[in-house]
Structure 1
Amino acid sequence: MGRVNLENWMLLLNPHAGGGRGKKDLEQIMDLLQKAGFEFELFISTYAQHAIQLTKNGIEKGYRRIIVAGGDGTLNEVANGVLRQTVCDPSEILIGMIPVGTGNDWIRTFDIPNDYKKAIKRIRKGRVFWQDVGQIRARQNGHQELRFFTNMAGFGFDALVAEKANRLKERGRADWFVYLQSLVSSYLSYKTRQVSVVVDGKELRDLIFSVSVGIGKYNGGGLLQAPNAVPDNGLFQVTIIHKIGLVGILKNLPGLFNGRFIKDRRVSVLQGKEVLVESAFELAGEADGENLGNHRFELTVLPKKLQVIVGKKAFPKSQEQAKSEELEGVLLD
């Protein structure tokens, strides 16, 4: 670790992030970067998946250091651009994050402050981490689509919430209540499906409420859906919530914010390198909050694929992990 080279950065900003915060705060972000000594060229994404192409363009121009000013979806697109381009090995690219989004879930695992000035300080310090990336194949608009994700993919109820939240964001909503409103309205319209989840060849088939496949720990604006996820261990954490009623949801609501909901008998937690999620019925899917596919999803973890800048307290251990390691230390003594 050491201070990063401040020259030749690509600043990729999403003006729509955070319900328009990106556009409103553009001058502030640029001013803070300049005061911190960064030399950069500004790239602005203006439509869905534009950041993928902009990332490719920047890499073709010779940029190997990227600052993402946006939310989880913007980071997702930048990662897809890095991994799809053919100019250089993805390991040559370094990514720093300035959070401008609504949910900002990736930063919660990787200890990036939700404050522009402090986030820029993190980038200057240059604590580099090689994180795993998820690869997902899904059928979209009649053809097979390959996508990568950096934080979490969700299927069933999770994906429906993301879809509704995205619609609210498109209308300019940018507060935490976007997720609360989406959560409530999704529950009222959602139907539990018969779903097959295959993790490293072992199948679980049941009436399933939701499936979360995590590299990072959080999604949905701070829900700790994958509390035991470790972003560089080459494994997904798969959290499956079986059929559950309104009483069960309300009972577990506090546990969604501290990870304790996984102790409920209607929740299964698995780990694996490959995951297949499939249903004969329409099943919504999303990756890093971006909607995709509706029936069959094949996921593979790509170990230590992306070079990102993180904070000192990145991906803190869950209570279960901490207790386990503490016990292990006692036994070794």
Structure 2
Amino acid sequence: MNKTHQTKWTLLLNPHAGGGRGKRDLDQIEKLLQSQGFLYSLIISEYPKHAIQLAKHAVENGCRHLIVAGGDGTLNEVVNGVFLQKVISPEQVLVGMIPVGTGNDWIKTFGIPNSYTNAIEKIEERKTFFQDVGKLTYTQNGVEKQRYFSNMAGFGFDALTAQKANSLKEKGRSGMLVYLQSLLAAFLQYKVQNVKIVIDKDPLEELLFSLSVAIGKYNGGGMKQAPNAIPNNGIFEVAVIKKIGFWGIVRNLAGLYSGSYIEDSRVACFRAKQVLISSPTDLAGEVDGEALGESQFHIEILPQKLQVIVGNLQ
């Protein structure tokens, strides 16, 4: 018997993912899993951050095999739940992904097809991979908090774009137009900020347009913001975009999707295990598309701490 069929899985589904696709497609997803002989229990998240608690409690109650049916934000919440529990080491939990979200950026690096049938086939194949995880420390309302991420953290323009996209998603919008509309809306509002950045021990100060700290290659609905990222090498890929202007963005729009934008003279790329970000004015931040508000940030890498099911990695 296939090892996958002997395993008891927990299916954690976000019904709001993909503009409500999670709810609409639940029956289809369950029928596909059942037709392939999966043994599983279903839990459904009901509100933002609920999946953090659901994943935490599932692991505390013995779950070691999780299937996430949602988007990048749902996966982020599950990862945070896995890391917040104290029963076992996080890498003892195996996480598979059925993409239901709008952007589905994590799967692009990790070779998971954007199709329920094919994604479930990858879970059946059970090719496992230990990826790096980012840990971000920030302050919110005077309280120090931590947030883990499995794909990418963004600051400045990147984070404002994520806030705009999330607002559209909450209104039931989905698809690539969400990200293009959010890009335009964020550009019309965003002003460059003077930011101090420490990359490992090397300080720099820039008029910052945007900054990304990456484990995976893609963000923002398919933009290849970190084309050289390797998700298990214990090192972040860091891209600092300096003041660039409207036409600079327009000229680099295709390059954002191909990864060639990093060749622009106003983009500086680094590798680091730790990044500190501070600004005299509040700077917006996000992880895996989830807004964190405005704060100062300390980001560190946790090498190969999350066990995931992958296809053919990029």
> TM-score when scaled to structure 2?
0.98
AA aligned opposite 2:132 = D
**Contact 1:138/1:293 (<8 A) preserved:** no
2: distance between equivalents of 1:254 and 1:301?
30
Q: Aligned equivalents of 1:249 and 1:19: distance in 2? A: 28
Q: Distance in 1 between matches of 2:89 and 2:133?
A: 15
Which residue pairs with 1:176 in the alignment? Answer: 176
Query: 1:142 offset after TM fit, Å?
Result: 2.5
* AA of the residue aligned to 1:210: S
Any residues of structure 2 matched to 1:192-271 within 5 Å, and which?
192-271=192-271
- CA shift for structure 1 position 139: 1.1
Whether 2:52 is the aligned partner of 1:23: answer no
What aligned pairs does 1:107-186 form with structure 2 within 5 A after superposition?
107-186=107-186
TM-score normalized with structure 1 length:
0.92
Aligned pairs for 1:43-54 (under 5 A) are 43-54=43-54
Judge conservation of contact 2:140–2:295 (CA < 8 Å) in 1: no
- Per the alignment, in what secondary structure is the counterpart of residue 248 of structure 2? helix
Deviation digits for residues 94-142 of structure 1 (CA, Å, limit 9, x no counterpart):
0000000000000000000000000000000000000000000011232
Structure 2 portions without partners, runs of 5+: none
8 Å Cα contact 2:5/2:37 also seen in 1: no
Q: Partner amino acid for 1:190?
A: Y
Equivalent residue number for residue 97 of structure 2? 97
Can you give the 5+ residue segments of structure 1 that lack an aligned partner in the other structure? 317-333
Q: Do the aligned partners of residues 120 and 268 (structure 1) sit closer, same or farther apart at CA in structure 2, a change above 3 Å counting?
A: same
1:60 CA displacement: 2.3
Secondary structure class of the residue paired with 2:228: coil
Comparing 236-245 and 292-301, the one that deviates more? 292-301
Give the conservation status (yes or no) of the 8 Å contact 2:4–2:38: no
The question of whether the paired residues in 2 share the 8 Å contact of 1:3 and 1:125 is answered with: no
Alpha carbons 1:252, 1:261 under 8 Å: kept: yes
Q: Where do 4+ consecutive residues of structure 1 move more than 3 Å? A: 2-6
Code of the aligned partner of 2:57:
N
Equivalent residues of 1:135, 1:147 under 8 A apart? yes
Aligned length: 313
The two structures, once aligned, show a CA RMSD in angstroms of 1.0
SS in structure 2 of the partner of residue 159 of structure 1: helix
Shift of 1:5: 5.0
Q: Is the 8 A contact 2:5 2:39 kept in 1?
A: no
Matching residue of 2:276: 276
Q: Confirm or deny: 8 A CA contact 1:139 1:293 kept in the other structure.
A: no
1:19–1:169: 8 Å Cα contact kept in structure 2?
yes
2:211–2:238 contact (8 Å) kept in structure 1: yes
**Letter of the structure 2 residue corresponding to residue 34 of structure 1:** Q
Q: 1:55 corresponds to which letter in structure 2?
A: A
